[in-house]
Structure 1
Amino acid sequence: MFPTTSGRPVLSVDVVMRREPVTGPMARWQSWRWVLADVLPTGEPFEEAVGAPQPVAAAAQEVQPLLPGAVSVDGAGYWLYPGLRVTLYRDDVEGLFLNLSSPSPCFWVFWRADEAHLLGDEPMAVPQIVTLSYHDAGRWLDAQEKVDQVPAPEAVVDWLRAFVDQHHRAEPKRRQRPASFKTLTDRFGQPARVSTDKAVRGGGGSGPREGGGA
Structure 2
Amino acid sequence: MQTSALDDRHPTLEVAVVMRRERVVGPAARWQEWRWVLDSVLPDQPGGDGRPRLLADDDGAQRWLHPGFKVQLFTDEAEGYYLNATTEAPCWFVLWRMHEDEAPPARPLLLTLSYNEAGRWLDAQETVEQVPAPDDVVAWMGAFVESHYVVEPRKRRRPQSFRPLIDRFGNAASVSTGDKRGAGDGQG
Is it true that 1:85 corresponds to 2:70 in the alignment? yes
Aligned length: 171
Name the CA shift for 1:125/1:179 in 2 (closer, same or farther; >3 Å).
closer
Q: CA deviation at 1:180?
A: 5.0
> Contact conserved, 2:4 with 2:12, CA < 8 A, in 1?
no
TM-score when scaled to structure 2? 0.78
Name the structure 2 match of 1:137: 118
Q: How does 1:1-214 map to 2 (within 5 A)?
A: 7-42=9-44, 58-64=50-56, 75-119=60-104, 124-178=105-159, 181-182=162-163, 193=175, 202-203=184-185
Where 1:162 maps in the other structure, the secondary structure is helix
TM-score when scaled to structure 1? 0.69
Name the structure 1 match of 2:170: none
Where 1:136 maps in the other structure, the secondary structure is helix
Distance between the aligned counterparts of 1:144 and 1:90, measured in 2? 25
Off by >4 Å, runs of 4+ in structure 1: 1-7
Name the structure 2 match of 1:212: none
Structure 1: tracts of 5 or more residues without a match:
44-56, 66-72, 185-190, 196-200, 205-214
> Contact conserved, 2:4 with 2:13, CA < 8 A, in 1?
no
Q: Percent identity?
A: 49
> Contact conserved, 2:17 with 2:66, CA < 8 A, in 1?
yes
> Contact conserved, 1:2 with 1:8, CA < 8 A, in 2?
no
Distance between the aligned counterparts of 2:4 and 2:32, measured in 1? 46
Structure 2: tracts of 5 or more residues without a match:
166-172, 178-182
> Contact conserved, 2:15 with 2:42, CA < 8 A, in 1?
yes
Distance between the aligned counterparts of 1:117 and 1:93, measured in 2? 36
Name the CA shift for 1:7/1:168 in 2 (closer, same or farther; >3 Å).
closer
Root-mean-square deviation over aligned CA pairs: 3.2
Q: CA deviation at 1:64?
A: 3.8
Distance between the aligned counterparts of 2:6 and 2:30, measured in 1? 54
Q: CA deviation at 1:175?
A: 2.5
What amino acid is aligned across from residue 34 of structure 1 in structure 2?
W
What amino acid is aligned across from residue 83 of structure 2 in structure 1?
L
